[in-house]
Structure formats: C-alpha cells, structure tokens
Structure 1
Amino acid sequence: MAKGQQADKELTDVLNQLWRLDTNRLRPGTDYIISLQGRAGYVAQGSNYARDNAKAPLFTYVNEDKLKGIKTYLHFMNLLDNYEVSTGVSETVTSEEQKENMLFIDSIMETNVMKCAHKYLVRKGQSQSDPGQFKKQLYDIWFRLYHRDRSGGEDSCGFEHVFVGETKFDREIMGLHNWIQFYLQEKHNHIDYKGYKARQGKDTPDEDDHVLNLQFSWKGLVKAIGGSFIGVSPEFEMALFTIIFLMSTEKRTSVVVKVDEYVLELVVYRHRGSIGTSYPTLLSSNHRDL
C-alpha cells in the first residue's frame, strides 16, 4: 500500500464480508470478457476531445442469460430507462416506475449481501431492525428526487447519478459509474470506450480486475476518468455505498479500504439525506499489498 494510505480496518472487514457474500457477482473470463487495450489519454479541462486508444469495445462478451436470469440484475436493468439524462429537466416518477423501484429494493433485500449490510448498520445504530423501515431508508437515500440544477425542478437522485449517468448543460458527463449501464450503452453504440487509467504500483490492470478507472465518451461528451466496479452485483454496490453514506455526516466522505486484492478509495458525496454521488477509485491491485 502506498505511503500515506491507511485502510479503514472496520470498513475493510465489513466490506470483505459483503464481497464474500456476493455470489451473484459475474466471473471474469467466464461470465464476461473485457478488452482493456490502450491507456486513457490527456483530456484538457472543459474539452470534449479524447484520443481513442481503444478501437474495440471494453466488453467483448457478457452472459446476458445471467443478467436476465438473476432477479436483482433484472430489476436493476428495468430502472435504467426511467430518467431524463439532462440536469435541469424535471423528473416525473410514474406509479409504474415507483413500483419498479420498490421491486428492485425488495429483490436486493432478499440477498445475503444486503442482509449483512442491514445487520451491520443496525449494530452501529444507523438503521432500524425492521426491514420495512430499512427499505424506506434505502428509498430515501437512492431514489428520493432533489434539485441538482437549481434552475429547474427536481431533476436528479442518487440512483440516476451513480448508476444511470447524467449530463450537465451539454458540457459534462456526471456519474455513470456502473458496469451494467456501461455495457448496455456500449452494446447500443451510445458509449465509446477510450482506454484505461493506470493505477499506483502497477502499470497495467488485469482483464480479470473487478475495479477499473475508465475513459469514455457518451452523448457527445467525454468523461476523462470514471471509476467503476466490474462484474459485481447491484446489491453489492448498493450495500457498500449505503454503509459509507450512513457512517458519515460529512458532505464528502473518502475512505481507503482493502477489498479482496484491491486497495480502493471509496468516495461518497452527500446531498442532504440522499446520495449525491459515489464511486470507487482503484489505487492498487498488487498481492504484495496484503
């Protein structure tokens, strides 16, 4: 581990419990195959140009039977078309979309990953033991609408920002830190993967890494670097970032943890009682860091 990086031991312990329980995680080389290709290039501030150092897509193959056959993935994917991408455009949540949100929360609450997270948060005094109350808490954290652009109505929520992605004034990509959304957008030629960013202690990531720092274009805009888990289940990400959100009252929380072989910086921004954004940054994936 690089000098100055101190892993949070308690969070490391609980997040490794979640990692071990994440049996819905897809297996690299079997359930999906990625092609990392070249390194991400320099992007000037305010620019929407990046040299394409990856001529082929990031995802070569994904087992869609698993995506459609695992309940949490299926309910997750049903949410991805429920949002207006541009900030400043008010969101309207229909009764059908609200039902989809609840079906997703119900499905993740059935997993051992979310049960473990709930149990930990109850023990730490951050959640009530009643599952129904915890579901309401999850809804408020992830799905409650709020103003991101003050010029309009309620135009955003944590789920939209982190998992779906947003654009700001047609100048900037915000969020979009989810591999399933990335894959589906790439499949429909909406995302162009540009390359990866090297991490500390190792020049080249491995194609079986479960965390990557990526550069891509989307909707005519460029994201210089965005951290994303790869292959993990929706419930794992929801559990992990919910814990970090509830264990801090700071507007910006950054913790360094060691999950499996990965040394990560996990960042969560608070928007009052909801998540503003959350994402991982891969710092190292070297077994000598153990």
Structure 2
Amino acid sequence: MARSQQANQELTEVLNQLWRLDTNRLKPETDYIISLQGKAGYVAQGSNYARDRARAPLFTYVNEDKLKDFINLLDNYETSTGVSEKVTSEELHENRLFIESMMETDVMKYAHKYLVSKGQSSSEPGQFKRQLYDIWFRLYHRDRSGGQDSCGFEHVFVGETKFGQEVTGFHNWVQFYLQEKHDHVDYKGYKARDNKYTPDEDDHVLNLQFSWNGLVKPIGGCFIGVSPEFEVALFTIIFLMSTQKMTSVVVKVDEYVLELVVYRHGRSIGTSYPKLLSSNHKDL
C-alpha cells in the first residue's frame, strides 16, 4: 500500500471520508483551546535537556465531558517497558466497552465496510471486534527482559518509557492534556518541518517537543481534537492493508499534508503516528 501513488490516492480518499464522518471531533476554540507559543529547539541524542520555548501549557481548556469514556482507559497501564502488565477484569471490560462504543460510530462502520471490501476483515461484527482487540489491546513483549509489558493502545495512546531513559510512543492529544493538567508533562514548543510553515492554533495535527516525568521527547506527532475512533480506524486500515514491518504513506486529509507511519509488532500495532508536513494548503 505504501509503495504506489495509486494506493496513496486511494488511502487519501478513504481518510478524507473518515475525516468527514468524524462528528465526535472536538472544535478548536470551542471544545478546546491550545497555545502554541515558541518553536522548540534541537535536542542532542540521549539528552534529557530541552530549552523551554513555551512557558505556558499547550492546552488551556478541554471539554472533558465529551471524552469521559475514553479517559477511563488511560490509567490502565504500567508505562515502563519491561514491567509486566496486570490487566484486571474491570480493565478488560473497559477495553471491550471502548470497542463496542467505537463500533456504533459512522467512522468505524465505514472503516469496517472498507476493510471487508478489501478482504482484510470479516463482515461479522463480532469477529471484527476481536480483530480490533488483537491489533490494539493484545499484550506482547516489547522489552525482551520483561514479560507481556506492552500493547499497541498503551504505546500509542498512553505512552511508555524505555529503561527509564527515553519516552516512546505517547501520540495522543487527550493523554497529553491529562498529563499536562497533572504537571507530569512540560510542553517545550512546536516543531516545524524545515522552517517551511508555522502551525496554527486551529490545526488538527501538530509536531511538538515535551518532557514527561523529566524525560524529553525531542519530537512527537499527534492529532489534536480528533475522536479516538478516528485514530483507531485510520491506523487499523493502514496496518491491515500492508504486511511491511514499517509502513509510511503521504496523504492529504482536509487541509493537511501528512506522513502516516505504522510499525507492526506481529499481529498487533507496534506504534503509529502522524507527521505534519504542511497545513493550510501551504507547499511542502
């Protein structure tokens, strides 16, 4: 899928349809407010020092009432790799409720229909739900020294730390807001590609730099304001339509030119994230 321009065009059409169907997406300046502030600087490899170009938090307001069910999932994980996860029956129930709620949305219904048409998923809803569970919630070994210490959802939506030395994953805006709210995250500023654009505060995609519990992530990419089902649907489609260890596709979604990256970990997602290449119809 990542290798041909025709495939990229098809994926662009699919993702724009997902975008149009994402009625649960939050609206900038209404449901949330961000403050981009300064452009983040260079961080040396292995360093945990980053000059702070943003004295205030990234998020100044988020309407949490629209995110309650999703927020409940974000405290279910041990963020250190190498430490086995202990999944309670309550957490299993929350995971399944999350999948059930996503299946009720037009975004996931469209993704399911598309994947069935491509022979990548069963038309039977129960089997598709199990497939989603395996892709996002099935535990696996990320750190060879540990037990079942990770899953796709934890890595992408919650974030992890590797050997207590670096931040890995952590590509979800809701988790960023919550961790910032509790003073665990320090936003350092936005990252701009080759100085060719400056992001706007109503953009729905952002490259950024931050520290989490004292560990610096030099650059990370995330959507802003989108619904959880949009991200799950988008990256599930890319994951299932490619057998490569790493898939990278460039697409245009609404006003954004994005590189979408997915790493495979067996039958599950290893990581997935967007990189903003340009916005507001500006040239790359």
Separation in 2 of the partners of 1:76 and 1:64? 10
What is the TM-score with the length of structure 2 in the denominator?
0.96
Structure 1 283/200 Cα, relative in aligned 2: closer, same or farther at 3 Å? Answer: farther
Partner of 2:61: 61
Partner of 1:210: 204
Partner of 2:170: 176
- Cα distance, 1:204 vs. partner? 1.1
Partner of 1:71: none
1:191 aligns with 2:185: yes
SS in 2 for 1:215: strand
Which structure 1 segments of 5+ residues have no match?
68-73
Partner of 1:98: 92
1:255 aligns with 2:254: no
Separation in 2 of the partners of 1:275 and 1:25? 23
1:126 aligns with 2:84: no
Query: What does the per-residue CA deviation read over 1:23-81, in whole Å, with 9 as the maximum and x for residues that have no partner?
Result: 000001111110000011110000000000000000011122322xxxxxx22211111
Separation in 1 of the partners of 2:102 and 2:251? 23
Aligned-partner residue type, residue 89 of structure 2: S
SS in 1 for 2:193: coil
- Cα distance, 1:193 vs. partner? 0.2
Is the contact between residue 202 and residue 286 of structure 1 (CA under 8 Å) also seen in structure 2?
no
SS in 1 for 2:75: coil
- Cα distance, 1:199 vs. partner? 3.0
Partner of 1:25: 25
1:50 aligns with 2:44: no
Aligned-partner residue type, residue 45 of structure 2: Q
Which structure 2 segments of 5+ residues have no match?
none
Separation in 2 of the partners of 1:7 and 1:230? 26
Is the contact between residue 200 and residue 283 of structure 1 (CA under 8 Å) also seen in structure 2?
no
Separation in 2 of the partners of 1:149 and 1:92? 16
1:116 aligns with 2:110: yes
- Cα distance, 1:288 vs. partner? 5.1
SS in 2 for 1:280: strand
Separation in 1 of the partners of 2:271 and 2:227? 18
Partner of 2:69: 75
Separation in 2 of the partners of 1:85 and 1:259? 31
Partner of 1:234: 228
SS in 2 for 1:96: helix
- Cα distance, 1:289 vs. partner? 5.4
1:137 aligns with 2:92: no
Aligned-partner residue type, residue 92 of structure 2: Q
Moved over 6 A (4+): none
Separation in 2 of the partners of 1:33 and 1:202? 24
- Cα distance, 1:220 vs. partner? 1.3
Separation in 1 of the partners of 2:195 and 2:182? 35
Separation in 1 of the partners of 2:103 and 2:124? 12
Structure 1 274/60 Cα, relative in aligned 2: closer, same or farther at 3 Å? Answer: same
1:37 aligns with 2:37: yes
Which 10-residue stretch deviates more, 56-65 or 246-255?
A: 56-65
Is the contact between residue 186 and residue 211 of structure 2 (CA under 8 Å) also seen in structure 1?
yes
SS in 1 for 2:44: coil
SS in 2 for 1:91: coil
- Cα distance, 1:218 vs. partner? 0.3
Separation in 2 of the partners of 1:171 and 1:65? 34
SS in 2 for 1:133: helix
Query: What does the per-residue CA deviation read over 1:254-290, in whole Å, with 9 as the maximum and x for residues that have no partner?
Result: 0001000000000000000000000000001132559
Aligned-partner residue type, residue 122 of structure 1: V
1:264 aligns with 2:258: yes
Is the contact between residue 199 and residue 205 of structure 1 (CA under 8 Å) also seen in structure 2?
no
What is the TM-score with the length of structure 1 in the denominator?
0.94
Partner of 1:282: 276
Separation in 2 of the partners of 1:76 and 1:231? 13
SS in 2 for 1:217: strand
Aligned-partner residue type, residue 21 of structure 2: L
- Cα distance, 1:16 vs. partner? 0.3
Separation in 1 of the partners of 2:189 and 2:36? 7
Query: What does the per-residue CA deviation read over 1:157-190, in whole Å, with 9 as the maximum and x for residues that have no partner?
Result: 0000000000000111000000000001101111
